[in-house]
Structure 1
Amino acid sequence: MTTFDDRENAYENKFAHDAELQFKADARCNKMLGQWAAGLLGKTGPEADAYVREVVTSDFEEAGHEDVYRKLSGDLGDKADEQTIRAKMAECMAEARRQVVDEAE
């Protein structure tokens, strides 16, 4: 193999690794958001667990996080405004990334 091939393989491996970490962070963030929203909605136990799964799967509707925002916004109604939901989304994403990176090390 040439140096160019080695470099290409390294970039491909890094891209795959980064994509895997991002997927894990997204899923963890959505789980945290679901737990937060379930608490606001007064859901506990199995009902809360089911709601968390709904939030996590809502992220598969389209690329990006707007599908999760729409799910939360629709479900929470007047319990949380847009600014509160988006701030919580940012907070959960930062925490999820930190946790995933810590686990990867």
Structure 2
Amino acid sequence: MTTFDDRENAYENKFAHDAELQFKADARCNKMLGVWAADLLGKTGPAAADYISSVVTADFEEAGHEDVYRKLAADLDGKADEAAIRAKMAECMLEARRQVLEEI
């Protein structure tokens, strides 16, 4: 194997590793958002768990986080405005990344 092949493999491995970490952080962020929103909606027990799961799966509708925002905005109508939802999304993403990086 040449140095070029080694370098190419290293970049590919780093890309795959970074993508995996981002996926974990996104999923964890969405779970935190689901917990927050379930609390605002007064959901507890199995209803809260189902709602949290629905927030996590909402992220698979399209690339990016707008699909999660739209779900939260529709569900939290009157309980949280756009600024509050987006601020919570940013807060949860920072926390999720911190937690994922601590696990490495």
2:27 maps to 27
Deviation at 1:72, TM superposition (A): 0.2
Q: Residue 60 of structure 1: SS of its match in structure 2?
A: coil
The amino acid that maps onto 2:11 is Y
Instruction: List gaps (5 residues or longer) in structure 1.
Output: none
**Aligned residues between the structures:** 104
- Local SS of the residue matching 1:78: coil
Q: Distance in 2 between matches of 1:82 and 1:66?
A: 12
> Which residue number corresponds to residue 57 of structure 1?
57
TM-score (norm 1): 0.98
Q: Percent identity?
A: 82
Partner of 1:97: 97
Counterpart Cα distance in 2 of 1:16 and 1:78: 40
Structure 1 equivalent of residue 17 of structure 2: 17
What one-letter code is carried by the residue in structure 2 that aligns with 1:83? A
For each residue in 1:82-102, what CA deviation from the matched residue of structure 2 results, as whole angstroms up to 9, or x when unmatched? 000000000000000000010
RMSD: 0.3
Runs of 4+ in 1 over 2 A off after TM superposition: none
